[in-house]
Chain A
Amino acid sequence: MVCDRCKQVVRDELEHLGVSVRSIRLGEVEVINEENLEEDVIAQRLQHRGFELLRNEQDWQIEKIKRTIILFVQESNAAAAQLTFSHYLQQMLCTDYRSVSALFSRMEGVTIERYLILQRMEKVKELLTYDELTMGQIAERMNYRNSAHLSTQFKKETGMTPSQFKKQEGTPRKSLDKVLS
């Protein structure tokens, strides 16, 4: 789950199955009438929409890390800029960065830093397609030192310069839950 539409879809699907939702956050749903809960049915329905039910502690941890990263990138703002990413993550998850990082690498096969870069690149692509902000403004918003730094990273990650990307027809953006694939 990565955005408000995901929440909406999960809520709709569960209510469709007669499950009352008490509260919903990215990655978590709290339901009321547990007797209606048939995990397999729910899992199946959600899978249909591209979700997966998390049944063990580690998957759950990974999901939490990813969600935190997505929020960090999506809402990259002044408050977040005060903190380095590792501090932010530590604060949000209340765990030590090294163990989080080790767990992530082990489970996902890429480092947390790589994942962060991929998420940031998707956000940059998104902002570029809107054609509302200049590169300088995007760099500032995404907490890059300057637009040159951003351009260099963008080129390295996508093989295109930001202006090439903009000119391209049918911009290949990725769903935020699929940046690794």
Chain B
Amino acid sequence: MEKEKTILVKGMVCDRCIQVVTQLINNLGLEVRDISLGSVTVVGVPNRVSIKIVEKVLAEKGLQVLEDRNTALANKVKQVLNELLDQDRVYEMRPKYSKLISEKLDMPYATIKSLFLYAEGMTLEKYIIHQRLEKAKELMVCTSFTFTEIAYILGFSSLQHLSNQFKEMTGLSPSYFRKIKGSGEYAVTHHETKNN
């Protein structure tokens, strides 16, 4: 069966809005299964990319795709984490990302954690460690920091800790990774969740 998705649309107020939205979706080659003021159910939206396109064409007509609260929060968490990791800041104390995120968003970590899980279908811990390791890859390839320094910058308790985690995710040891990737150009791949 083809995949269905209900998109919440902000700004729809009348029958013309319904006509316009239907037309836009059809123009994208998608089928509208159901439409009412404020929401449209579309058949055949396989992934996040086409949602982005839908978002764009609707925006041109002054309509907005509405994120539910959890998704909005999860996106915010991701953004905050990326900012934290991109600072390349050397902390006096080992950074604890859960605490930093909770401070930035001014919400208890337990709440953030459970909402994140709900929206993303993966635990926040897993996401954080993944992003840190992605950042570690970047630092290994693009900088001359030693592994110990990298471990320290990204808040791992020791080189051993970093190596273990790294090996668990990639199957490679950090030094081997640096050796094979260091010469060529390396693009940071940002983590995308699979359930979208």
Interface residues of A (CB under 8 A from B): 1-6, 8-9, 49-50, 74, 122, 126, 129-132, 170-171, 173-178
8 A-B residue pairings within 8 Å (CB atoms):
A3-B14, A49-B16, A50-B16, A129-B39, A132-B69, A175-B18, A176-B13, A178-B14
Q: What is the bound-complex CA distance between A122 and B62, given in angstroms? A: 19
Contacts of A6 in B (CB 8 A): 14, 16
Contacts of B27 in A (CB 8 A): none
Whether B19 is near chain A, meaning CB under 8 Å from some CB there, is yes
Residue of B nearest to A70 (CB): B13
Contacts of A131 in B (CB 8 A): 68-69
Q: Given A173-B36, A173-B38, are A8 and B20 neighbors across the interface (CB < 8 Å)?
A: yes
Most chain A beta carbons < 10 A, residue from B10, B16, B68:
B16
Contacts of B12 in A (CB 8 A): 5
Q: What is the bound-complex CA distance between A6 and B8, given in angstroms? A: 20
Is there an interface contact between B20 and A5, defined as CB atoms closer than 8 Å?
yes
B interface, over-half SS? mixed
Q: Given A171-B36, A171-B38, are A5 and B16 neighbors across the interface (CB < 8 Å)?
A: yes
Is there an interface contact between B14 and A8, defined as CB atoms closer than 8 Å?
no
Most chain B beta carbons < 10 A, residue from A3, A49, A177:
A3
What class of interface size applies to chain B in its complex with A? 20 to 34
Given A9-B19, A129-B38, 14 other A-B residues pairs in contact with their CB atoms under 8 A: A3-B11, A3-B16, A4-B61, A5-B12, A6-B14, A9-B16, A9-B20, A49-B16, A50-B19, A130-B66, A174-B37, A175-B13, A175-B37, A176-B13
Q: What is the bound-complex CA distance between A40 and B14, given in angstroms? A: 24
Whether B17 is near chain A, meaning CB under 8 Å from some CB there, is yes
Most chain A beta carbons < 10 A, residue from B8, B17, B66:
B17
Whether B15 is near chain A, meaning CB under 8 Å from some CB there, is yes
Contacts of A50 in B (CB 8 A): 15-16, 19
Q: What is the bound-complex CA distance between A122 and B37, given in angstroms? A: 11
B122 to chain A, nearest CB (A): 24
Q: What is the bound-complex CA distance between A8 and B68, given in angstroms? A: 28
A71 to chain B, nearest CB (A): 12
Q: What is the bound-complex CA distance between A175 and B36, given in angstroms? A: 10
Is there an interface contact between A173 and B37, defined as CB atoms closer than 8 Å?
yes
Contacts of A74 in B (CB 8 A): 13
Which of B36, B61, B66, B68 interacts with A5 by CB under 8 Å?
B61
Is there an interface contact between A3 and B36, defined as CB atoms closer than 8 Å?
no
The 7 closest A-B pairs by CB, nearest first: A173-B37, A175-B14, A5-B20, A6-B16, A175-B15, A5-B17, A5-B16
Which of A9, A126, A130 interacts with B13 by CB under 8 Å?
A126
B26 to chain A, nearest CB (A): 15
* B49-85 Cβ-contact flags toward A at 8 Å (1 or 0): 0000000000001110010110000000000000000
Q: What is the bound-complex CA distance between A170 and B36, given in angstroms? A: 8
B180 to chain A, nearest CB (A): 48
Q: What is the bound-complex CA distance between A176 and B12, given in angstroms? A: 10
Contacts of B62 in A (CB 8 A): 4-5
Q: What is the bound-complex CA distance between A126 and B69, given in angstroms? A: 16
Which of A129, A130, A171, A177 interacts with B14 by CB under 8 Å?
A177
Contacts of A9 in B (CB 8 A): 16, 19-20
Residue of B nearest to A131 (CB): B69
Contacts of A4 in B (CB 8 A): 61-62
Residue of B nearest to A170 (CB): B36
Q: What is the bound-complex CA distance between A96 and B86, given in angstroms? A: 62
A74 to chain B, nearest CB (A): 8
